[in-house]
Amino acid sequence: MCEKRVQADVVDGIDGSFPDNPPKGALIPVHHGGQMNRPADLPDFKAPPLTEVAMSVQFNHLSAFTHVHIGLLWEKFRSRFPIVSYQPPLAPSFETFGVPQSRTPSFQIQFEDRPEIPRLWFADLKGIELIQFQPDRFIHNWRKTGDETHYPRYEALRERFVTEMAALQDFSAENGLGPLVPNQCEITYINTIKRGTLDVASMADIFRWWENVQIDSLGPMEDAGVQMSYLIPGPGGDPIGRLWVQSNPGLSSEGERVQMLSLIGRGPPASPHFDAVLDFFDNARARIVTAFAGITTENMHKAWGREA
C-alpha cells in the first residue's frame, strides 16, 4: 500500500461526479462537430497578447486504465503528437456553489495498491500544441512558442478537441475501459503583457480597474497581483460556472518584466454528454473574450489592433 500526496486545484473532498451508469447517449456522438463560425459580436484583436489556451474536460475516473494502456493510447495520437513526456497527475477539482471557495492550495491524501498513473503529455514536434491525458481528464493546449507562432483561433482548436475526444472514446470502448462521463469543464486563456519600464503605479495604463494604493509609511509599492471571481449564470439565473480573473507580475523567458493575465471559465456541464461540454466551452469563451476587452484599456486595445 503506497501513499500519495497531491495538490488539489480548487475544492477537494466533494464528489461532483455523475453516476457511473450514465443515461443513454453519454458517450459521443458529439453533434457539434465541424468548425463553427466566430460570433460577429465578440471583441477581436489582430495581435492579442495571448500565449496559451487550454480546453479541459474532467470525467469519472477510468479505473481500468493501467500502465499497459499508455503505449496503446500513444499509438492513437502519435502521428500528430510524437513527443511523449510525463507529469504528476492533477487532483480532481470541482466548482461548487453555495459553499465558500478555497482561496489557497489544499492537499488530499489517497492510498493506492498499485503505481500511480502519470499525466501523459503528447506534443507536436514544435511544442506548439499538445494533449494531456490522465484517467479522469483530457486537455488540449495551444502555446505560443515565438513571435512567428500563429494562433489558430478558438473555432479551430474546438474542432480539434472534438476529433481527439472522439478518438479517446473509441480507444476507451476498444479496450473495455468504460464510458467517458464528463463532470467538469474548463477553458483557460493566458495572456503575457509586456510591461517594459512600467512601474506598479502605471498599471492603470493596462487595466481599467487598477488603482495605485499608496501607504506613505510603507514607501512605494513594489508590485501587486489580483484574483477575482464572477459567477456564470444559467438560463434561470442560477450559477452554472465561475469565471476567474487572475493577474500577477512575472518575467518572460527573455527576462523581460511582464504582467500575466489569466482568464479561466470552469464548471460542470449541464448534462453528462459531450455536447454539453462544448456548450459550456462556447459560453465561457464568449465571457472570457468580453471580460478581456472590458478590463483592459483602450490604449492597449490600439496597441493590440482591436478590430471589433
Domain boundaries along the sequence of the chain? 1-6+60-179, 181-308
* Per-residue pLDDT band at 247 (split at 50, 70, 90): very high
The pLDDT of residue 86 is above 50: yes
- List, for residues 253-268, the tens digit of each pLDDT value: 788 889 999 999 999 9
Check whether 211 has a pLDDT greater than 60: yes
pLDDT in tens, 130-170: 999 999 999 999 999 988 899 999 999 999 999 999 999 99
Q: What average pLDDT score do residues 236-250 get?
A: 94
Residue whose C-alpha is closest to residue 196's, from 98, 92, 303: 303
Percent of the chain with pLDDT over 90: 65
Closest by Cα among 304, 308, 29, 16 to 186: 16
For the residues of 237-272, what is the DSSP string, one character each?
A: SSEEEEEEEEEEEEE-TTS-EEEEEEEEEEE--SSS
Q: Which pLDDT score is estimated for 53?
A: 98
Q: How many residues does the chain have?
A: 308
Give the pairing type, strands 239-251 and 257-267.
Answer: antiparallel
CA distance 259 to 249: 4
Phi, psi of 249 (to 5 degrees): -75, 155
pLDDT score at 175: 97
d(CA 231, CA 172): 34
